[in-house]
Amino acid sequence: MTDRLTELKENLERVRRSIADACTTAGRSPDEVTLVAITKTFPLDDVRALAALGVTDVGENREQELKAKAPEAQDLDVTWHFVGQLQSKKARSVVRYADVVHSVDRLSLVTALSRAASSESRSIRCLLQVSLEEYGPGSAGGSRGGVEPGDVPALADAVAAAEGLELGGVMAVAPLGGDPAKAFDGLASVAARLRSDHPGADWISAGMSEDLEAAITRGATHVRLGRALLGTRPVLG
């Protein structure tokens, strides 16, 4: 086993223990939580190594990296997630390669994704990115993006009605400098209201390396982990 494969194996075991511990605290089964490995800036070899170790879900946050890696990994049994903020003009490229888009935050993007999915004869699962900035320290925390909670129902209805799209649930990033527990409590409330109108939209994508436990104890079904799994990101030139 190569040094890098050994490192990834050890990191994955540590991450899975953390997920299991958080699930125990929450009275949940680890089977209820899907690990999405965020491989931005890391090479395709790492994607292949993670797949060999049993990771089935891989995420990218830049369209350029997604379209570079995914076509070269068609032999792998992985689901590709796009988790970054997405320009409408890049929707067609993302739809060609991603199975799930986590960052749907406006009607114009719904229109662009639907048009692209129909053109490519694909069905794309969409998560609504919800802004949790109200739980942050204000402008000092910086914006993490997303639709305001009060605008979620209308956007959800638009996704549910759009050709080629499937409404999957919600996604959020805890605000910088805020309390992730309070933020994810707020997200759980938004998710519950969404499920009352769209029972099948039961995904909650929340939690990264630094706030994994807070997300899982508040219902996250998908956690997006990069640094804890792959280590310090390479500096791109």
Q: Rounded to an integer, what distance in angstroms lies between the CA atom of residue 17 and that of residue 85?
A: 30
Phi and psi of 221, rounded to 5°?
-100, -20
Rounded to a whole number of angstroms, the distance between the first and last alpha carbons of the chain is 29
- Domain edges within the chain: 3-230
Alpha-carbon distance of 128 to 107, in angstroms, equals 11
- Report, as ranges of residue numbers, the positions in the chain whose pLDDT lies below 50: 139-142, 237
Q: CA 193 to CA 224: how far, in whole Å?
A: 23
Greatest pairwise CA separation for the chain in angstroms: 51
- Under 8 Å between Cβ of 95 and 124: yes
Task: State the amino acid at position 106 in one-letter form.
Answer: R
> How confident is the model at residue 88, as a pLDDT?
96
Joined tokens for residue 163: 């050709």
CB 37 within 8 Å of CB 55:
yes
Rounded Cα gap, residues 185 and 205, in angstroms: 13
Q: Which one-letter DSSP state was computed for residue 235?
A: P
Copy the structure tokens of residue 8.
């990834």
* Residue 165 DSSP SS3: strand
Predicted local distance difference test score (pLDDT) of residue 137: 83
Q: Which residues pair with 203 in a beta bridge?
A: 169
Instruction: From 200, 209, 138, select the one nearest 175 (Cα to Cα).
Output: 138
- What is the number of other CB atoms lying within 10 angstroms of the CB of residue 45? 11
CATH number belonging to the domain at 3-230, selected among 3.40.50.1820, 3.50.50.60, 1.10.3720.10, 3.20.20.10: 3.20.20.10
CA–CA dist 61, 53 (Å, integer): 22
Q: What is the pTM of this model?
A: 0.95
**Rounded Cα–Cα distance for residues 175 and 40 (Å):** 21
**Can you give the pLDDT at residue 143?**
62
- Tokens for 31, please give them: 């089977």
Q: Where are the alpha helices (H) located in the chain, listed in sequence order?
A: 3-26, 44-52, 63-69, 91-97, 107-120, 152-161, 180-197, 212-216, 227-230
Q: Which tens digit of pLDDT belongs to each residue from 106-158?
A: 999 999 999 999 999 999 999 999 999 999 886 444 466 899 999 999 999 99
The Cα-based distances of 75 to 47, 55, 65 in angstroms read: 12, 14, 18
Amino acid at 202: D
